[in-house]
Structure 1
Amino acid sequence: MTVHPFPAPMLQVDKLSLEYADAHRVVRATHRVSFDVHEADRFVLLGPSGCGKSTLLKAVAGFIAPREGQIRLDGQAVAGPGPDRGVVFQEFDQLAPWKTVRQNVVFGLRSARKLGAAQARERADEVLDQVGLLAFADAYPHTLSGGMKQRVAIARALAMQPRILLMDEPFAALDALTRQRMQAQLLALWEQVRFTLLFVTHSIEEALVVGSRVLLLSPHPGQVRAELNAHAFDADSTGSAAFQQTSQRIHQLLFEHQQVDAPIRRRAGQPGAAP
């Protein structure tokens, strides 16, 4: 009998600890967090504000170096930013206001020297069509709604054909109805393209709707509390008993324990600093 091994994870986060500093101390944001993301996963980092989930995403993007542990993408250690990771942030001002929608998408492709001018324009129109904005290709960002700007940012990231798309609470600033519509559009786009997604949110409902797998992080410092399978849920199941029961279970897992203070190291030269 032939045994087929499971494919290796695309992204591996191994015992990752991250820290940030102010003038007097160094505070641990996450403590020995580990998880794997596989091809075409919709993997969600869920936790309360301040648990380090956005810091984790920035570390995967290559913007923050680990204090300890390692991040590997396709088996290679992440040492800095790269085109293999597309990033979409929460802010709406991530588009160049003096460029049209198409030009914003083309700019990344041309800057990375991935395609010639004609090919870049063709790729831009393809992804704008996928996110439903081809008719607005010649519009400027200031004429778009918040949700439309986020769709342009998603198109710009996907145009680079990254190995993984990183999204940091991209819909948090939108009104409730637009947020729900954006979640549905993201899932419809995933059905088309089957990209791999690492998504950060502090909304339990959003995590279950968007994610196929959900990692729960404890209050600060962020540590892995649990990992749940969310394949069974979508926007149409939010009112079901199973959805509500899972939401309640997640809330209990996140908040049933008292918060533990983060490890703090004094900066060298400060009173109480370690020798």
Structure 2
Amino acid sequence: MQHPGQMTAAAPLLSVENVTLEYATPQRVVRATHRISLDLFEADRFVLLGPSGCGKSTLLKAIAGFVQPVEGRVVLDGKPVAGPGPDRIVVFQEFDQLPPWKTVLGNVMFPLRAARRLSRAEARDRALHYIERVGLGAFAEAYPHQLSGGMKSRVAIARALAMQPRVLLMDEPFAALDALTRRRMQQELLELWDEARFTLLFVTHSIEEALVVGNRIALLSPRPGRVRAEINSHAWDMQSLGGADFQAAAQRIDHLLFGPGDAEAAA
């Protein structure tokens, strides 16, 4: 099956062009990534995979417009990214960022109303649609303290999708969940993608999660992060877990990330 990035010869939706990122600590300036280049196409499920500290989250923040590159640029729909915007919505790991005084419906409606593009009735209808899509229709009037961690994650995803961004950015969104809830959320994310075909950029340091969630995976070297390899992973899904071929693919990725060439790549 042809993956979405190959369906047409159209230009990429999002391009990361030779992006170098740095941040300051009290001791020194740290180079987080070094001249990373990536292309995302419409409806890609693109995963950034690498060890802790390789610059995955910093790169995601640069794509979101929160961090400015010291070299290179990020281009969306042919225009350089100059700052945050509703065309790129981020779902972080900390789902407790949901305002506790707002219901599920209120939380999903809030950014729609803040953007001033929809009337209250239109915002309510769209919010309810996405709340239903993530399986929380019965909890629209519930408050965050009444929800489990997995349910909060679904609210965050519904809130992001309701904004209908050009790219949905997810920064290790399921890392804090227990193993069973994490597996369920991966499945639900894939089902939502199958319905809506949004463009996803997903950060993880789990090889299995990368293979399941992504149709393309960029492997990043230890800091400063460089693209070590790009892998097509559209052959794998939730049913692949535990299979011999799946485990062999995971081992190959592990070797690429942490094999004998690791020291040279990080130099």
Deviation at residue 24 of structure 1 after TM alignment:
3.1
Is 2:81 the counterpart of 1:78?
yes
- After TM superposition, which residue ranges in structure 1, 4 or more long, deviate above 3 angstroms? 258-263
Select which of 120, 123, 126 maps to 1:123.
Answer: 126
Q: Distance in 1 between matches of 2:266 and 2:202?
A: 24
Aligned length: 260
Is 2:47 the counterpart of 1:39?
no
User: What aligned pairs does 1:160-239 form with structure 2 within 5 A after superposition?
Assistant: 160-239=163-242
Query: Any unmatched runs of 5+ in structure 2?
Result: 1-6
Select which of 92, 98, 105 maps to 2:108.
Answer: 105
Q: Distance in 2 between matches of 1:259 and 1:111?
A: 48
* Change beyond 3 A, Cα 1:237–1:5: closer
Answer whether contact 2:33 2:223 (CA < 8 A) is retained: yes
For 1:267, the equivalent position in structure 2 comes to: none
Deviations 1:198-238 (A, max 9, x none): 00000000000000000000011111000000000011111
Select which of 254, 257, 267 maps to 1:254.
Answer: 257
Q: Distance in 1 between matches of 2:265 and 2:189?
A: 36
Answer whether contact 2:221 2:262 (CA < 8 A) is retained: no
Indicate the SS of the match to 2:97.
Answer: coil
Structure 1-normalised TM-score? 0.92
Answer whether contact 1:221 1:260 (CA < 8 A) is retained: no
For 1:9, the equivalent position in structure 2 comes to: 12
Deviation at residue 261 of structure 1 after TM alignment:
9.6
Is 2:173 the counterpart of 1:151?
no
Deviation at residue 259 of structure 1 after TM alignment:
3.7
Deviations 1:131-153 (A, max 9, x none): 11111000000100001001000
Select which of 62, 78, 81 maps to 1:59.
Answer: 62
Q: Distance in 1 between matches of 2:264 and 2:206?
A: 22
Q: Distance in 2 between matches of 1:184 and 1:135?
A: 20
For 1:21, the equivalent position in structure 2 comes to: 24
CA RMSD of aligned residues (A): 1.4
Deviation at residue 94 of structure 1 after TM alignment:
1.7
Supply the AA of the counterpart residue of 2:235.
A
Query: Any unmatched runs of 5+ in structure 1?
Result: 264-275
Answer whether contact 1:220 1:261 (CA < 8 A) is retained: no
Deviation at residue 23 of structure 1 after TM alignment:
2.2
Is 2:135 the counterpart of 1:136?
no
Answer whether contact 2:221 2:265 (CA < 8 A) is retained: no
Task: Compare CA radii of gyration and give the structure with the larger one.
Answer: 1
Indicate the SS of the match to 2:177.
Answer: coil
Deviation at residue 158 of structure 1 after TM alignment:
0.7
Answer whether contact 2:221 2:266 (CA < 8 A) is retained: no
Deviation at residue 241 of structure 1 after TM alignment:
1.9
Structure 2-normalised TM-score? 0.95
Deviations 1:33-85 (A, max 9, x none): 11100000000000000000010000000000001011000010000000001
For 2:98, the equivalent position in structure 1 comes to: 95
Deviation at residue 93 of structure 1 after TM alignment:
1.4
